[in-house]
Amino acid sequence: MDKKITYTGALMGMIAIIFGAFGAHALKKILTPDLLATFETGVRYQMYQAFFLLLLPTFKQLSDKTKNSIYYLIVIGVILFSGSIYGLATNYSTPFDFKTIGFITPIGGLLIIIGWGILFYRYLKI
């Protein structure tokens, strides 16, 4: 499980760097400053979670079951949160109207918060 978490964290970080560079270079020419800032928010939160996943295997006090729960909450949360932010920021540049699925952004954020909350709760019990 630890290898999978580390692999996913590294992949998520790599994608965040690619998206950050894409936003800074390609999207800067077509998005308004507000939309570019929105896109960068998605990148920033994705990178925070990538670092978190890279650290998660080092928490030896956590059971594999707890790590697994946190892992899935964070990964699904990032897909919903950052993914929907990317779509919403580039909405006018795509044929799909991402505003119709904008409601998933806070759901993704909530999943991320729950993942961190489980970590907090487990360490309170130690």
Kindly state the tokens that stand for 15.
Answer: 């994608």
Helix (H, G, I), strand (E, B) or coil at 59: coil
Measure the CA–CA gap between 59 and 95, rounded to whole angstroms.
Answer: 43
Closest-CA residue to 16 (of 52, 43, 50) = 43
| Rounded alpha-carbon distances, angstroms, from residue 123 to 17, 56, 60, 117, 120 | 31, 13, 11, 10, 5
Beta-sheet strands, E only, within the chain: none
Which pLDDT does position 53 carry in this prediction?
97
| Cβ partners under 8 Å of residue 96, min gap 6 | 87
- Kindly tell me the number of DSSP H helices and DSSP E strands found in the chain: 4, 0
pLDDT of residue 92: 83
Tens of pLDDT, residue by residue, the chain (126 residues): 889 999 999 999 999 999 999 999 999 889 899 999 999 999 999 999 999 999 999 999 999 999 999 999 999 999 999 999 999 999 888 788 888 888 999 999 999 999 999 999 998 887
* pLDDT at residue number 126: 73
